[in-house]
Amino acid sequence: MGARYQFEDVWTVPCPLDVAWRMVDDVAGWPGWWPDYRRVERVSADVGHGVGVRWRVGVKSNLPYTVDFTFTVLEHDPPRYVRTQVEGFFDGFVDWRLDADGAGARLVLREETETRWPIINLIARVGGRRVLEANHRAAMRRGQEGMRAALAAGYSPPALDG
């Protein structure tokens, strides 16, 4: 059994809800504004967008390894909610919930996962859990900062795909 994690991260960004949604919904574009996402590849041949689309990603934060996982969109309710199932380095679920927040948008990312990599599970059991959690927080902070920087630089949502 792996280490179980529950995270809730809240981002606020200075843009309309629909623009924030398009940034979250455009997974292929994440490496352009979220520096921890090093590799993103759509692997579902039969579904290009929305429920059923499947992505393989590689994420590198502060620690000396890349987290590889695949996620599948289970629910897709633009512009407010997306639920994914993740598999690979960890298994579980990740949800994004978006709401208008004054002139901007509020994004809540909830993660309920269990790690599958034996060495990471050992590290968590022998006292390294706080380091792993700090690594997650750093990645989330860079995601919010990257989204804000992209918006300040004039981010324009891509054309809708399916």
Nearest to 17 by CA among 73, 71, 74, 77: 77
Which pLDDT band, with edges at 50, 70 and 90, does 58 fall under?
very high
Phi-psi region of 124 (alpha: psi -120 to 50; beta: other; left: phi over 0): alpha
Residues 147 and 9 sit within 8 Å (Cβ to Cβ): no
pLDDT at residue 157 in the model: 79
pLDDT at residue 1 in the model: 79
Q: Using one digit for the tens of pLDDT, what is the confidence trace for 41-50?
A: 999 999 989 9
pLDDT at residue 98 in the model: 98
Top-level class of domain 4-152: alpha beta
Which pLDDT band, with edges at 50, 70 and 90, does 93 fall under?
very high
Give me the amino acid identity at 22.
Answer: R
Mean pLDDT of 53-75: 95
What percent of the chain has a predicted confidence (pLDDT) above 90? Answer: 84
Say yes or no to pLDDT of 159 above 80. Answer: no
Structure tokens at 47: 């579904």
Say yes or no to pLDDT of 161 above 70. Answer: no
Tell me if residue 26 falls in helix, strand or coil: coil
Give me the amino acid identity at 145.
Answer: E
Residues linked to residue 71 through DSSP beta bridges, in sequence order: 55, 86
pLDDT at residue 101 in the model: 94
